[in-house]
Structure 1
Protein backbone atom coordinates (compact mmCIF):
# COMPACT_ATOMS: atom_id res chain seq x y z
CA UNK A 1 0.00 0.00 0.00
CA UNK A 2 1.54 3.31 -1.00
CA UNK A 3 1.92 6.15 1.45
CA UNK A 4 0.59 9.59 0.58
CA UNK A 5 1.16 12.99 2.13
CA UNK A 6 -1.47 13.70 4.76
CA UNK A 7 -2.24 17.08 3.14
CA UNK A 8 -3.03 15.34 -0.15
CA UNK A 9 -5.40 12.86 1.49
CA UNK A 10 -7.08 15.61 3.51
CA UNK A 11 -7.57 17.59 0.27
CA UNK A 12 -9.08 14.50 -1.39
CA UNK A 13 -11.47 13.98 1.50
CA UNK A 14 -12.54 17.64 1.35
CA UNK A 15 -13.01 17.35 -2.43
CA UNK A 16 -15.03 14.13 -1.96
CA UNK A 17 -17.29 15.67 0.69
CA UNK A 18 -17.87 18.80 -1.38
CA UNK A 19 -18.70 16.80 -4.52
CA UNK A 20 -20.92 14.46 -2.48
CA UNK A 21 -22.87 17.44 -1.08
CA UNK A 22 -23.36 18.87 -4.58
CA UNK A 23 -24.59 15.49 -5.81
CA UNK A 24 -27.05 15.29 -2.92
CA UNK A 25 -28.34 18.76 -3.82
CA UNK A 26 -29.03 17.82 -7.45
CA UNK A 27 -30.25 14.31 -6.57
CA UNK A 28 -27.71 12.61 -8.85
CA UNK A 29 -24.62 10.79 -7.54
CA UNK A 30 -23.23 9.86 -10.96
CA UNK A 31 -20.81 12.84 -11.10
CA UNK A 32 -18.91 11.19 -8.22
CA UNK A 33 -17.65 8.62 -10.76
CA UNK A 34 -15.04 11.13 -11.89
CA UNK A 35 -13.35 10.67 -8.50
CA UNK A 36 -12.47 7.02 -9.27
CA UNK A 37 -9.71 5.57 -11.45
CA UNK A 38 -10.74 3.99 -14.76
CA UNK A 39 -10.25 0.51 -13.26
CA UNK A 40 -11.62 1.20 -9.77
CA UNK A 41 -14.01 -1.17 -8.02
CA UNK A 42 -16.91 -0.38 -5.72
CA UNK A 43 -18.78 -3.02 -3.76
CA UNK A 44 -20.83 -3.93 -0.70
CA UNK A 45 -22.54 -6.90 0.89
CA UNK A 46 -26.31 -7.27 0.57
CA UNK A 47 -26.92 -9.94 3.15
CA UNK A 48 -25.86 -13.50 3.81
CA UNK A 49 -25.99 -14.69 0.19
CA UNK A 50 -25.37 -11.70 -2.04
CA UNK A 51 -22.82 -9.01 -2.83
CA UNK A 52 -22.77 -6.05 -5.18
CA UNK A 53 -19.73 -5.08 -7.26
CA UNK A 54 -19.17 -2.46 -9.94
CA UNK A 55 -15.90 -2.79 -11.86
CA UNK A 56 -14.50 0.22 -13.66
CA UNK A 57 -15.53 3.87 -13.69
CA UNK A 58 -18.38 3.29 -16.16
CA UNK A 59 -20.01 0.57 -14.02
CA UNK A 60 -19.48 2.69 -10.92
CA UNK A 61 -21.28 5.58 -12.66
CA UNK A 62 -24.06 3.48 -14.20
CA UNK A 63 -24.65 0.79 -11.58
CA UNK A 64 -23.40 1.88 -8.15
CA UNK A 65 -24.10 5.61 -8.43
CA UNK A 66 -26.88 5.42 -11.02
CA UNK A 67 -29.12 2.35 -10.69
CA UNK A 68 -28.35 1.56 -7.04
CA UNK A 69 -28.76 5.15 -5.88
CA UNK A 70 -31.82 5.54 -8.10
CA UNK A 71 -34.86 6.43 -6.03
CA UNK A 72 -32.70 7.89 -3.28
CA UNK A 73 -32.75 11.37 -4.77
CA UNK A 74 -33.47 13.75 -1.95
CA UNK A 75 -31.70 11.51 0.57
CA UNK A 76 -28.65 12.85 2.40
CA UNK A 77 -25.63 10.90 3.57
CA UNK A 78 -24.00 13.22 6.10
CA UNK A 79 -20.60 11.99 7.19
CA UNK A 80 -20.28 11.81 10.97
CA UNK A 81 -16.59 11.01 11.25
CA UNK A 82 -13.67 10.35 8.91
CA UNK A 83 -10.46 8.48 9.67
CA UNK A 84 -7.42 8.93 7.42
CA UNK A 85 -4.44 6.55 7.18
CA UNK A 86 -1.80 8.31 5.10
CA UNK A 87 0.65 5.40 5.49
CA UNK A 88 -1.79 2.99 3.85
CA UNK A 89 -3.52 5.51 1.61
CA UNK A 90 -6.89 4.58 3.08
CA UNK A 91 -9.86 6.55 4.35
CA UNK A 92 -12.84 5.34 6.35
CA UNK A 93 -15.96 7.49 6.63
CA UNK A 94 -19.00 6.87 8.83
CA UNK A 95 -22.30 8.28 7.53
CA UNK A 96 -26.02 8.38 8.16
CA UNK A 97 -28.78 7.72 5.63
CA UNK A 98 -31.51 10.36 5.94
CA UNK A 99 -34.53 10.63 3.66
CA UNK A 100 -36.09 13.91 2.63
CA UNK A 101 -39.52 12.42 3.45
CA UNK A 102 -40.85 13.07 6.94
CA UNK A 103 -42.95 11.09 9.35
CA UNK A 104 -46.29 12.50 10.52
CA UNK A 105 -44.50 13.80 13.66
CA UNK A 106 -42.10 15.81 11.44
CA UNK A 107 -38.97 13.73 11.98
CA UNK A 108 -37.15 12.50 8.89
CA UNK A 109 -37.04 8.84 7.97
CA UNK A 110 -33.51 7.78 8.88
CA UNK A 111 -31.75 4.43 8.76
CA UNK A 112 -30.67 3.38 12.25
CA UNK A 113 -27.28 1.84 12.85
CA UNK A 114 -23.93 2.68 11.33
CA UNK A 115 -23.17 3.04 7.65
CA UNK A 116 -19.82 3.71 6.17
CA UNK A 117 -17.37 3.64 3.30
CA UNK A 118 -13.78 2.43 3.16
CA UNK A 119 -11.68 3.93 0.38
CA UNK A 120 -8.23 3.25 -1.08
CA UNK A 121 -6.61 6.34 -2.54
CA UNK A 122 -4.74 6.08 -5.88
CA UNK A 123 -3.37 9.62 -6.10
CA UNK A 124 -4.44 12.28 -8.58
CA UNK A 125 -7.66 12.98 -6.58
CA UNK A 126 -9.08 9.52 -7.34
CA UNK A 127 -10.05 6.39 -5.40
CA UNK A 128 -8.91 2.97 -6.62
CA UNK A 129 -11.65 1.20 -4.69
CA UNK A 130 -14.50 1.71 -2.27
CA UNK A 131 -16.28 -0.75 -0.01
CA UNK A 132 -19.46 0.17 1.85
CA UNK A 133 -21.28 -1.33 4.78
CA UNK A 134 -24.70 -0.63 6.25
CA UNK A 135 -27.28 -2.38 8.38
CA UNK A 136 -29.53 -4.11 5.85
CA UNK A 137 -32.11 -4.93 8.52
CA UNK A 138 -32.47 -1.25 9.44
CA UNK A 139 -32.54 -0.19 5.77
CA UNK A 140 -35.32 -2.71 5.12
CA UNK A 141 -37.25 -1.53 8.19
CA UNK A 142 -37.15 2.12 7.04
CA UNK A 143 -38.22 1.23 3.49
CA UNK A 144 -41.12 -0.87 4.84
CA UNK A 145 -42.15 1.95 7.18
CA UNK A 146 -42.05 4.41 4.29
CA UNK A 147 -43.97 2.00 2.05
CA UNK A 148 -46.75 1.59 4.63
CA UNK A 149 -46.95 5.38 5.06
CA UNK A 150 -47.02 6.02 1.31
CA UNK A 151 -43.77 7.98 1.61
CA UNK A 152 -41.68 6.18 -1.03
CA UNK A 153 -40.62 8.22 -4.05
CA UNK A 154 -41.63 6.98 -7.50
CA UNK A 155 -37.96 6.20 -8.15
CA UNK A 156 -37.75 4.06 -5.03
CA UNK A 157 -40.95 2.23 -6.00
CA UNK A 158 -39.39 1.45 -9.41
CA UNK A 159 -36.18 0.30 -7.73
CA UNK A 160 -38.04 -2.04 -5.37
CA UNK A 161 -40.10 -3.41 -8.28
CA UNK A 162 -36.86 -4.10 -10.17
CA UNK A 163 -35.38 -5.88 -7.16
CA UNK A 164 -38.47 -8.05 -6.65
CA UNK A 165 -39.03 -8.86 -10.35
CA UNK A 166 -36.98 -12.05 -10.23
CA UNK A 167 -34.89 -10.80 -13.14
CA UNK A 168 -31.11 -10.64 -12.73
CA UNK A 169 -29.93 -7.21 -11.55
CA UNK A 170 -26.61 -6.01 -12.98
CA UNK A 171 -23.83 -5.89 -10.41
CA UNK A 172 -25.41 -8.45 -8.05
CA UNK A 173 -23.48 -11.66 -7.41
CA UNK A 174 -23.81 -14.70 -5.20
CA UNK A 175 -21.73 -14.25 -2.08
CA UNK A 176 -18.06 -14.80 -2.89
CA UNK A 177 -18.49 -14.67 -6.69
CA UNK A 178 -17.85 -10.98 -7.38
CA UNK A 179 -15.35 -10.31 -10.20
CA UNK A 180 -12.90 -8.93 -7.62
CA UNK A 181 -12.90 -9.81 -3.91
CA UNK A 182 -15.24 -7.77 -1.78
CA UNK A 183 -12.85 -7.76 1.21
Structure 2
Protein backbone atom coordinates (compact mmCIF):
# COMPACT_ATOMS: atom_id res chain seq x y z
CA UNK A 1 0.00 0.00 0.00
CA UNK A 2 1.24 3.47 -0.87
CA UNK A 3 1.81 6.02 1.87
CA UNK A 4 -1.00 8.35 2.75
CA UNK A 5 -0.92 11.91 1.46
CA UNK A 6 -2.64 14.96 2.89
CA UNK A 7 -6.02 15.41 1.20
CA UNK A 8 -5.15 19.04 0.47
CA UNK A 9 -2.05 17.96 -1.48
CA UNK A 10 -4.07 15.56 -3.61
CA UNK A 11 -6.75 18.20 -4.21
CA UNK A 12 -4.03 20.62 -5.38
CA UNK A 13 -2.65 17.92 -7.71
CA UNK A 14 -6.09 17.24 -9.17
CA UNK A 15 -6.64 20.94 -9.88
CA UNK A 16 -3.14 21.18 -11.37
CA UNK A 17 -3.91 18.15 -13.58
CA UNK A 18 -7.26 19.53 -14.74
CA UNK A 19 -5.73 22.90 -15.62
CA UNK A 20 -2.89 21.21 -17.52
CA UNK A 21 -5.49 19.14 -19.41
CA UNK A 22 -7.41 22.30 -20.37
CA UNK A 23 -4.21 23.90 -21.70
CA UNK A 24 -3.38 20.77 -23.72
CA UNK A 25 -6.91 20.58 -25.13
CA UNK A 26 -6.67 24.21 -26.24
CA UNK A 27 -3.24 23.64 -27.81
CA UNK A 28 -4.22 20.32 -29.42
CA UNK A 29 -1.07 18.77 -27.95
CA UNK A 30 -1.21 16.35 -25.02
CA UNK A 31 2.54 15.75 -24.71
CA UNK A 32 3.19 18.47 -22.08
CA UNK A 33 1.18 16.35 -19.61
CA UNK A 34 4.20 14.01 -19.44
CA UNK A 35 5.83 16.47 -17.06
CA UNK A 36 3.20 15.49 -14.47
CA UNK A 37 4.53 11.91 -14.24
CA UNK A 38 7.54 10.54 -12.42
CA UNK A 39 10.53 9.56 -14.55
CA UNK A 40 9.66 5.84 -14.14
CA UNK A 41 5.86 6.17 -14.33
CA UNK A 42 3.69 3.78 -16.35
CA UNK A 43 0.53 4.51 -18.29
CA UNK A 44 -1.65 1.82 -19.81
CA UNK A 45 -5.08 0.63 -20.86
CA UNK A 46 -6.78 -2.42 -22.27
CA UNK A 47 -7.65 -2.54 -25.98
CA UNK A 48 -10.07 -5.45 -25.97
CA UNK A 49 -9.83 -9.11 -25.06
CA UNK A 50 -6.44 -9.78 -26.63
CA UNK A 51 -4.39 -6.61 -26.33
CA UNK A 52 -3.10 -4.02 -23.86
CA UNK A 53 -1.27 -0.76 -24.28
CA UNK A 54 1.56 0.21 -21.92
CA UNK A 55 4.00 3.12 -21.92
CA UNK A 56 6.90 2.75 -19.48
CA UNK A 57 8.73 5.87 -18.35
CA UNK A 58 8.08 9.56 -18.88
CA UNK A 59 9.61 9.54 -22.39
CA UNK A 60 7.31 6.75 -23.64
CA UNK A 61 4.35 8.44 -21.96
CA UNK A 62 5.20 11.68 -23.79
CA UNK A 63 6.08 10.16 -27.16
CA UNK A 64 3.74 7.19 -27.42
CA UNK A 65 0.76 7.54 -25.04
CA UNK A 66 0.34 11.31 -25.29
CA UNK A 67 1.93 11.72 -28.73
CA UNK A 68 1.13 8.84 -31.09
CA UNK A 69 -1.92 7.49 -29.27
CA UNK A 70 -3.53 10.93 -28.83
CA UNK A 71 -2.56 11.86 -32.37
CA UNK A 72 -5.63 12.73 -34.40
CA UNK A 73 -7.59 13.69 -31.29
CA UNK A 74 -6.55 17.33 -31.41
CA UNK A 75 -9.69 19.37 -30.98
CA UNK A 76 -11.28 16.69 -28.81
CA UNK A 77 -12.10 17.46 -25.19
CA UNK A 78 -12.19 15.14 -22.22
CA UNK A 79 -14.37 16.93 -19.67
CA UNK A 80 -14.12 15.27 -16.27
CA UNK A 81 -17.57 14.54 -14.84
CA UNK A 82 -16.58 13.34 -11.38
CA UNK A 83 -13.36 12.79 -9.44
CA UNK A 84 -12.85 10.54 -6.43
CA UNK A 85 -9.81 10.96 -4.17
CA UNK A 86 -8.46 8.38 -1.70
CA UNK A 87 -5.78 10.10 0.34
CA UNK A 88 -5.08 6.92 2.34
CA UNK A 89 -3.91 5.08 -0.78
CA UNK A 90 -2.78 8.16 -2.70
CA UNK A 91 -5.12 7.28 -5.56
CA UNK A 92 -7.44 9.34 -7.70
CA UNK A 93 -10.16 8.16 -10.10
CA UNK A 94 -11.61 10.53 -12.68
CA UNK A 95 -14.59 9.86 -14.94
CA UNK A 96 -14.55 11.70 -18.25
CA UNK A 97 -16.36 12.04 -21.56
CA UNK A 98 -14.72 11.98 -25.00
CA UNK A 99 -16.15 14.75 -27.18
CA UNK A 100 -15.00 15.52 -30.73
CA UNK A 101 -14.85 19.01 -32.15
CA UNK A 102 -16.63 17.75 -35.29
CA UNK A 103 -20.39 18.24 -35.44
CA UNK A 104 -23.19 16.19 -36.93
CA UNK A 105 -25.52 17.84 -39.44
CA UNK A 106 -27.98 18.45 -36.57
CA UNK A 107 -25.29 20.41 -34.68
CA UNK A 108 -24.60 17.86 -31.94
CA UNK A 109 -21.02 16.87 -31.20
CA UNK A 110 -19.70 13.42 -31.96
CA UNK A 111 -19.20 11.89 -28.52
CA UNK A 112 -18.09 8.48 -27.33
CA UNK A 113 -20.95 7.06 -25.32
CA UNK A 114 -20.42 4.95 -22.23
CA UNK A 115 -18.07 5.73 -19.37
CA UNK A 116 -14.42 6.58 -19.72
CA UNK A 117 -12.00 7.25 -16.96
CA UNK A 118 -8.52 7.34 -15.51
CA UNK A 119 -7.16 5.79 -12.31
CA UNK A 120 -4.01 7.44 -10.98
CA UNK A 121 -1.49 6.71 -8.25
CA UNK A 122 0.07 9.80 -6.74
CA UNK A 123 3.82 9.87 -6.04
CA UNK A 124 4.11 13.26 -4.32
CA UNK A 125 5.76 16.36 -5.75
CA UNK A 126 2.78 16.98 -8.09
CA UNK A 127 3.44 13.83 -10.15
CA UNK A 128 1.66 10.55 -10.91
CA UNK A 129 3.55 7.26 -10.62
CA UNK A 130 1.04 5.46 -12.81
CA UNK A 131 -2.19 5.89 -14.72
CA UNK A 132 -4.62 3.31 -16.06
CA UNK A 133 -7.46 4.30 -18.39
CA UNK A 134 -10.65 2.57 -19.39
CA UNK A 135 -13.21 3.35 -22.08
CA UNK A 136 -15.91 1.55 -24.02
CA UNK A 137 -14.06 0.26 -27.08
CA UNK A 138 -17.34 -0.65 -28.82
CA UNK A 139 -18.60 2.92 -28.52
CA UNK A 140 -15.22 4.35 -29.55
CA UNK A 141 -15.30 2.19 -32.68
CA UNK A 142 -18.90 3.16 -33.39
CA UNK A 143 -18.26 6.90 -33.24
CA UNK A 144 -15.11 6.63 -35.39
CA UNK A 145 -17.03 4.63 -38.02
CA UNK A 146 -19.84 7.20 -37.93
CA UNK A 147 -17.31 10.02 -38.36
CA UNK A 148 -15.55 8.15 -41.17
CA UNK A 149 -18.84 7.68 -43.05
CA UNK A 150 -19.62 11.39 -42.59
CA UNK A 151 -16.15 12.36 -43.85
CA UNK A 152 -15.24 14.30 -40.70
CA UNK A 153 -12.29 12.30 -39.35
CA UNK A 154 -9.18 14.43 -38.89
CA UNK A 155 -6.14 13.67 -41.04
CA UNK A 156 -4.33 12.58 -37.87
CA UNK A 157 -7.08 10.08 -37.05
CA UNK A 158 -7.04 8.75 -40.62
CA UNK A 159 -3.28 8.17 -40.26
CA UNK A 160 -3.86 6.35 -36.95
CA UNK A 161 -6.51 4.10 -38.50
CA UNK A 162 -4.24 3.39 -41.48
CA UNK A 163 -1.42 2.50 -39.06
CA UNK A 164 -3.73 0.13 -37.14
CA UNK A 165 -4.89 -1.52 -40.37
CA UNK A 166 -1.34 -1.94 -41.72
CA UNK A 167 -0.64 -5.01 -39.60
CA UNK A 168 2.74 -3.54 -38.61
CA UNK A 169 3.69 -3.64 -34.90
CA UNK A 170 2.60 -0.51 -33.04
CA UNK A 171 4.81 0.78 -30.21
CA UNK A 172 3.26 0.20 -26.79
CA UNK A 173 0.84 -2.52 -27.96
CA UNK A 174 1.25 -5.94 -26.36
CA UNK A 175 -0.64 -9.23 -26.45
CA UNK A 176 -2.84 -9.49 -23.36
CA UNK A 177 -0.72 -10.32 -20.32
CA UNK A 178 2.64 -9.62 -22.01
CA UNK A 179 3.10 -5.91 -21.37
CA UNK A 180 6.28 -4.97 -19.48
CA UNK A 181 4.14 -3.79 -16.55
CA UNK A 182 0.76 -5.36 -15.77
CA UNK A 183 -2.45 -3.37 -16.06
CA UNK A 184 -3.31 -4.39 -12.46
Q: TM-score range by the shorter chain?
A: over 0.9
TM-score, normalising length: structure 1: 1.00
The whole-number CA distance in structure 2 between the counterparts of 1:154 and 1:181 is 32
- CA-CA distance at 1:127 after TM superposition: 0.1
Consecutive unaligned residues in structure 2, runs of 5 or more: none
- The number of residues matched between the two structures is 183
Moved over 6 A (4+): none
Consecutive unaligned residues in structure 1, runs of 5 or more: none
Name the counterpart of 2:121: 120
Per-residue CA deviation, residues 54-100 of structure 1 (Å, 9 max, x unaligned), is 00000000000000000000000000000000000000000000000
Per-residue CA deviation, residues 94-115 of structure 1 (Å, 9 max, x unaligned), is 0000000000000000000000
Find the residue that maps to 2:122 and give its secondary structure.
Answer: strand
Name the counterpart of 1:23: 24
The whole-number CA distance in structure 2 between the counterparts of 1:71 and 1:163 is 13
- CA-CA distance at 1:53 after TM superposition: 0.0
TM-score, normalising length: structure 2: 0.99
The whole-number CA distance in structure 2 between the counterparts of 1:64 and 1:155 is 15
Structure 2 counterparts to residues 25-174 of structure 1, below 5 A: 25-174=26-175
Find the residue that maps to 2:142 and give its secondary structure.
Answer: helix
